Amino acid sequence: MATQMSSARRGIATDEMKQVARDEDVTLDWLLPKIAKGSIIIPSNNVRPQKIHNVGIGKGMKTKVNVNIGTSTLNVNIEEEVEKAK
């Protein structure tokens, strides 16, 4: 099974790449070379495929933030946690 990078190096746009291009409002012509050289990645696991919403991460992509709000046992102030995430 091919990786996103190996597909991009062969000039093949995968469904995941097409989804990222649409979501990021970029062309596949712009996206594929960056995936091919590794400056943009699409995290996924081709050994354990799952139905997920694929995202592109790297220079030129929108910022993605993963926040765990309210998971600390040391601070239970939800309003403060939400404010930190902004």
Q: What pTM does this model have?
A: 0.73
Domain containing residue 69: 4-85
- Taking the mean position of all CA atoms in its chain, how far away is CA 16? 10
Q: Where are the alpha helices (DSSP H) in the chain?
A: 4-9, 15-24, 28-37, 78-85
Q: How confident is the model at residue 13 (pLDDT cuts 50, 70, 90)?
A: very high
How many folded domains does the chain comprise?
Answer: 1
| Mean predicted confidence (pLDDT) in 71-79 | 72
Q: Which residues contact 14 (CB under 8 A, 6 or more apart)?
A: 4, 7
User: Alpha-carbon distance 86 to 84, whole Å?
Assistant: 6
Looking at every residue in the chain, the average pLDDT score rounds to 87
